[in-house]
Amino acid sequence: VALESGETKMLQFGLGWRDFAFYDVVANGWIMDAGEYEISIGASAADIRLAARVTLLSSHQAAVAIDRKTPFAKALQHPVARERLQPALDGMRERFGDGEGSETMMLFMSDTPLSKFPIMGALTEDQLEELIAAANTE
């Protein structure tokens, strides 16, 4: 919109779901993540004059691709992987209790790649391979 110096105009425009979508190669399509977004308007990126937050609801969440390098915390976001990791989670809670020890262990484990779980005895190699295959076929 071109404006003369000191001129103001009222503008209105709509944004559809595609304006918030991205292409997900795992889902093989365009998806929109639910969440809070900020819409900013300004003369430039360094000169923002107006901003508003919008909350988007979506029934489709981005698929999380699972492989041996996937961090534990990311794998827990995938429903199939979480179900198969539940026995390992339960085992950790039994060993470290439900208090601070368990919280500390979960923080430590959150960035641990799944490939380390057989070494730690939390899963067997076969269980890990089955988990990866099942998570990526859902």
- Distance, in Å, from the CA atom of 39 to the CA atom of 47, rounded to the nearest integer, reads 14
Q: What are the structure tokens assigned to 91, written together?
A: 């085992």
pLDDT recorded at residue 106: 73
**pLDDT confidence of residue 40:** 93
pLDDT along the chain (138 residues), means of 10: 88 86 70 85 91 81 79 85 85 71 74 91 91 86
* Residue 41 bridge partners (DSSP): 50
Q: Output the average pLDDT for the chain.
A: 83
Half-sphere exposure in the Cβ direction for 20 (13 Å, CA): 20
Residues 6+ apart with CB under 8 A from 111: 71, 72, 73
- Alpha-carbon gap, residue 62 to 135, rounded angstroms: 13
For the chain, domain boundaries: 1-63, 72-137
On whether the CB atoms of residues 54 and 91 are closer than 8 A, the answer is no
